Amino acid sequence: MVKAAKVMRRLAICLLNFIICSLFVFACGKNTEKAQEFYLKGKEAYTRQELDTARAHFSEALNHDKTLLNAHLMIAKIHYFKKEFGDALSRVSIILKENRDHTGGLFWKARILTVMPKKDNADEQTLELQAIESLTRVLELDSHHIHARSLLALLYEKRALYKEALAEYLTALEEEEALVNTRANLGLLYRRMGLKDKSIREMKTALKIADAAEVNKKGLQVIMGEIEK
């Protein structure tokens, strides 16, 4: 019994040492601060539409931290806008392999599947169903994802599922109306805080959203007039 206990104790010590070494090796291969630095540079280049430069920065970020899934997502977006749909889908697959409920990965998978070239009608049907499945999961995880809901409505409409499409469009409009109200309330708060410029900027954004969503703007225009005085 004593001998067995000693053996078990040695095994436990060996296992603990292995875990500590593994964690040390993992930590050494990861530089989060550097990764974030290159990621932010990539975002800046992406905003300027310097896609090749942005991709280089995001790739460098991944060299420092392979777990930075949003860097993979940004590279997927770049492939998408360059119409490199196969590469974009491969990059999204990396994200979903690590986290199957990554809403950004699921949404962009659906966008890619929707626009990528299809071999035939059967292939188109299969890819559309996959896109619908991805978008449905996005909305299960985040019911306020307007872009996912709008794309889902479009796919339902394309498949002549008009009742389902109508329900999604109406829900999306409700979300947009809520967003208008949120922007307006934020604008009023800024005004009360004496931040007139920020207040006007938020109200202008609210009016633009109202225009796009065809929401009644009379109340917003009255508030805007009061703020500008």
pLDDT, tens digit (0-9, with 9 covering 90-100), for 88-131: 999 999 999 999 999 999 999 999 999 999 888 888 999 999 99
Sign of CA dihedral 32, 33, 34, 40: positive
pLDDT of residue 28: 46
Among 138, 141, 160, smallest CA distance to 150 is for 138
DSSP 16-47: HHHHHHHHHHHHHT--HHHHHHHHHHHHHHHH
pLDDT in tens, 156-192: 999 999 999 999 999 988 888 888 888 888 888 888 8
**Is 85:79 a contact under the CB 8 Å cutoff?**
yes
pLDDT in tens, 71-91: 999 999 999 999 999 999 999
